[in-house]
Amino acid sequence: MDSALLVLGVAVACFVAYNIGGATTGPAFAPAVGAGVLTKVAAAALMSVFFFVGAWTIGRRVVDTLGEELIHDPAIFTLPASIVVLFFIGGALFVGNVFGVPASTSMTAVGSIAGLGLASGQLNWAVMGEIVTWWIVAPIVGFWVAGIIGRYFYVYLDDLIAINQTEGALVELDRSGAVPKVVAGPNTTRRELVGSLIVIAIGCLMAFSSGTSNIANAIAPLVGSGQLDINVGIVIGSIAVAVGAFTIARRTMETLGNDITHLPLTAAIVVASISSVLVVGLSAVGIPASFVVIATMSIVGLGWGRATRTTTLSEGVTGEEAPRASVGALAADEGTATVGDPTVSEETKPEPEPIGEGKPEEVPSASDLFDPSTTARVIVMQNVVPIFATIGSYATFLLLF
């Protein structure tokens, strides 16, 4: 009987991990795929490798937090209880997909386990309080860091990162020597190569951060039950994530079906970098962090910083007043040749041109970038789903204890 339950539990854990792979590969590598830097297969391969590295190194700390520390007595993680918890986590992914909102699997996993702890009287309130505190602090930090970057540094980052693609392959394999080596393509510029490498590196960082935080959502209940070794669980979970990356994630990469990848390329990289660094940092101390919540607040912060930018660092040092940025600043940057130039009048100043993205017919307004109703729906769903998971888990286990 226990063997059958263990097989069922592993199957449910693989289902959760499979959905994690499908949901996180797009946000990580859609900018690189959309820019023509990577193929979908290469993106899935990189996702699989770096997710596993993150899970194997830092991810086990989050597994310990959810599987052993959040509950005073891990013995309550029986196989049936672990399966119920995993069903609630999998259900959250399903609800998020139905409503088109990326639900936080980390928050839902903690909520489901907390429901078990509450019903059994074994919840470690000190650990729970620490986790919730960081859930509040991390998005605020992401908002302000993104806001500062958007206000003072975004133009310069866009100038550095923007990819002006040339004809032909980005890199080629040089077989002229004894040992083949990878070299830049015949038409590849240094700017294009650097920008492409940055986009790929950020995708790998996001994949790594996903592994550090999300592997626990799939295997922590089974590891906590003592029925599954943590090393075996990490390998099984990572394989399931890889399957999701090579299959259902292709759709998200093709359609860029994530809020982050709807931003300009530079903005997507900034948001991804901030969110990934925060998630990895929290995972290193065993705190399960929500990438989607941190990323959402980083997007809002970056937009606020760009829309309210009134001075650059150089202007702040010299004391010269700069023209006020347009409200559509997140999607289109001011041309550096005209910003702060007293010889150019307001009537003759040319329309701003986004660096590396071509000149659009018109600059989008703030309402084109941030729909208040959509933003509210995302934030509400990201918090309501974990609450329902917690209440549902508590009610279910209350009947069992």
Residue 98: pLDDT band with limits 50, 70, 90: low
Phi first, then psi: give them for residue 182, nearest 5 degrees: -85, 130
In the three-class reduction of DSSP (H, G, I as helix; E, B as strand; rest coil), residue 172 is classed as strand
Please report the pLDDT score of residue 224 as a whole number. Answer: 87
Q: What is the pLDDT of residues 242-265, one digit of tens each?
A: 998 998 887 666 654 344 445 677
pLDDT of residue 187: 66
pLDDT, position 166: 63
Task: Give the position of tokens 């700069």.
Answer: 322
- Residue 339 pLDDT > 80: no
For position 176, what pLDDT does the model report?
75
Q: What is the pLDDT of residue 367?
A: 46
Q: What is the pLDDT of residues 73-92, one digit of tens each?
A: 888 888 888 888 988 888 77
For a pLDDT cut of 90, what percent of the chain falls above it? 32
Q: Is the pLDDT of residue 346 over 70?
A: no
Q: Is the pLDDT of residue 330 over 50?
A: no
Task: State mean pLDDT over 61-75.
Answer: 90
Interatomic CA distance for residues 255 and 262, integer angstroms: 10
Quick one: pLDDT at residue 212? 95
pLDDT score for 256: 45
Is the model's pLDDT at 313 over the cut of 50? Answer: no
Instruction: Give the integer Cα–Cα distance in Å for 190 and 184.
Output: 9
Helix-strand-coil split of the chain, %, nearest 5? 70, 0, 30
**pTM of structure:** 0.77
Encode pLDDT of 265-274 as tens digits: 788 788 888 9
Comparison of pLDDT for 324 and 101, the residue scoring more:
101
- pLDDT for 75: 84
pLDDT band at residue 368 using 50, 70 and 90 as cut-offs = very low
Mean pLDDT over 368-377 rounds to 56
Determine the Cα angle at 9 with ends 290 and 7, to 5°: 145
pLDDT band at 335 (very low <50, low <70, confident <90, very high): very low
Answer yes or no: are the C-beta atoms of 233 and 13 closer than 8 Å. yes
What average pLDDT score do residues 233-240 get?
Answer: 96
pLDDT tens profile 1-28: 578 888 999 999 998 899 888 878 877 8
